[in-house]
């Protein structure tokens, strides 16, 4: 009976172990676990590169506002300018088509210094140099020292070499000092270097109207019809014609030091615009265009401002 129970118990243990091993060999199909609490997409800030500031252009050119009755020739004459320059500075397609209250540039693009500021956007390719020059006497790279066996002869030779080097340096310093002392001092240019003008009378005749800066902005000289009129100083003709009301046939010459001369009421002009003229050269013949008698209206202007010709012309 005991043998039967022992055998049964042994079989039961075998079955239990077999079932347990089978259970361990099988894999449970578990649902995947997803941690949602950490599944968050963070917004990454977008960093845009700094764009360089745009170029700053400051136009400081002088300007003139057109008034009623103005013409381009009159404006140029009053300001001591060449009307063709005003045309170019303002890109005018028709010099006769200017309007009241129109603002005109009366100076070149670089007049009064047109400031242009350009920012530095990168430091690449910029060479960096040491501002303190290297002194060769304190920064030796050669000759390198060599080891020599000590002896009285070697010591004497080294001392002699040092004395010669000191003497040579002293001589060079004295020589440089002498050269610096002999160098002449450069003189600054003198103010009198500005070109002076020797004026001459434009024609012969009696003065019938003097300068008053209101009605007569020059002098008027009576004469005969066809009488020669001459350039009062060397220069260049910047206008000749009859488009300036109140002046008749007129010749305008530009001279050094921002001077202009005007010769009006002419019968005939014998020079052309752009032509260089010399002092005393015939430029016109006296007449009475746009006036009541035969005479020359003569003006001198500096930077557009009328100047009394009697203060510049020689005595006669």
Average pLDDT for residues 3-28, to the nearest whole number? 57
Q: What is the pLDDT of residues 143-156, one digit of tens each?
A: 555 566 666 777 77
DSSP H/E element including 246: none
| Cross-strand partners of 65 | 103
Kindly state whether residue 301 falls inside one of the protein's structural domains: yes
**pLDDT tens column, 176-198:** 545 445 455 555 444 444 568 99
Question: Which has more confidence, 201 or 166?
Answer: 201
Whether pLDDT at 24 is above 80:
no
Query: Is residue 8, in this structure, part of any structural domain at all?
Result: no
Query: So what's the pLDDT on residue 85?
Result: 92
Asked, for residue 7, whether it belongs to a domain, the answer is no
User: What pLDDT sits at residue 113?
Assistant: 46
What CATH number did the domain enclosing 255 receive?
2.70.70.10
Q: Is the pLDDT of residue 164 over 80?
A: no
Cβ neighbour number for residue 10 with a 10 Å cutoff? 10
User: What are the tokens at 165?
Assistant: 């080097």
Q: Which H or E element spans position 160?
A: helix 152-182
For the cut 70, the answer to whether the pLDDT of residue 28 exceeds it is no
Give mean pLDDT, residues 275-294. Answer: 97
Per-residue pLDDT band for 110 (boundaries 50, 70, 90) equals confident
Which of 80, 77, 78, 76 has the alpha carbon at shortest distance from 90?
76
Whether residue 255 is predicted with pLDDT greater than 70 in this model: the reply is: yes
Report the CATH number that the domain containing residue 83 is assigned in CATH.
3.10.350.10
In a domain, 89, yes or no: yes
**pLDDT at position 115, please?**
44
The average pLDDT across 130-152 equals 60
pTM higher than the cut 0.75: no
Q: Domain for residue 186, yes or no?
A: no
Percentage of the chain exceeding pLDDT 90: 46
pLDDT of residue 173: 53
Q: Where residue 118 falls among pLDDT bands split at 50, 70, 90?
A: very low
Angle at 203 between CA 82 and CA 313, to 5 degrees: 70
> What pLDDT, on a 0 to 100 scale, did the predictor assign at position 150?
62
d(C-alpha 117, C-alpha 293), whole Å? 58
* Last residue in a domain, options 70, 105, 140: 105
Average pLDDT on 238-263 reads: 95
Q: Does 267 reside within a domain?
A: yes
pLDDT beyond 70 at 121: no
Residues 168-177, mean pLDDT to the nearest whole number:
53
Structural domain boundaries, residue 287? 207-311
Looking at the structure of the chain, the number of domains it has is: 2
Mean pLDDT of 107-136: 56
For the chain, what is the mean pLDDT? Answer: 77
* Rounded average pLDDT over 304-310: 95
Chosen domain end from 105, 140, 169: 105
Q: Give the SS3 label for residue 179.
A: helix
Q: Inform me whether the pLDDT recorded for 35 exceeds 60.
A: no
In a domain, 31, yes or no: no
Work out whether the CA dihedral 158, 161, 167, 168 comes out positive or negative.
negative
Q: What is the pLDDT of residue 60?
A: 85
pLDDT tens across 38-71, in order?
555 555 566 666 666 656 667 788 999 999 989 9
The SS3 of residue 22 is: helix
179 assigned to some structural domain: no
> 17 or 107: whose pLDDT is higher?
107
């Amino acid at each position: 009976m005991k043998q039967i129970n022992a055998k049964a118990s042994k079989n039961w243990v075998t079955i239990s172990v077999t079932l347990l091993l089978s259970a361990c060999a099988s894999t449970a199909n578990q649902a995947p676990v997803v941690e949602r609490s950490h599944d968050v997409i963070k917004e990454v800030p977008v960093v845009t590169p700094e764009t360089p500031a745009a170029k700053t252009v400051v136009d400081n050119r002088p300007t003139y506002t057109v008034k009623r009755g103005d013409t381009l020739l009159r404006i140029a004459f009053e300001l001591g300018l060449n009307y063709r320059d005003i045309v170019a500075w303002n890109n005018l397609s028709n010099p006769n088509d200017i309007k009241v209250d129109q603002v005109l540039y009366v100076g070149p693009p670089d007049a009064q210094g047109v400031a242009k500021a350009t920012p530095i956007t990168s430091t690449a390719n910029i060479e960096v140099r040491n501002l303190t020059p290297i002194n060769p006497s304190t920064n030796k790279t050669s000759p390198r020292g060599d080891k020599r066996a000590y002896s009285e002869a070697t010591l004497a030779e080294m001392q002699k070499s040092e004395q010669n080097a000191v003497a040579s340096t002293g001589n060079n310093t004295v020589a440089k000092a002498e050269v610096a002392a002999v160098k002449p001092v450069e003189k600054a240019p003198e103010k009198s270097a500005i070109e002076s003008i020797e004026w001459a009378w434009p024609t012969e005749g009696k003065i019938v109207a003097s300068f008053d800066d209101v009605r007569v902005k020059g002098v008027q000289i009576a004469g005969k019809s066809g009488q020669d009129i001459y350039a009062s100083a060397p220069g260049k003709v910047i206008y000749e014609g009859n488009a300036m009301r109140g002046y008749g046939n007129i010749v305008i010459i530009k001279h050094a030091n921002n001077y202009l001369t005007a010769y009006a009421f002419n019968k005939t002009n014998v020079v052309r615009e752009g032509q260089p003229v010399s002092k005393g050269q015939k430029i016109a013949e006296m007449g009475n265009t746009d006036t009541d008698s035969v005479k020359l209206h003569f003006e001198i202007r500096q930077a557009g401002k009328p100047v009394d010709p009697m203060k510049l012309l020689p005595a006669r």
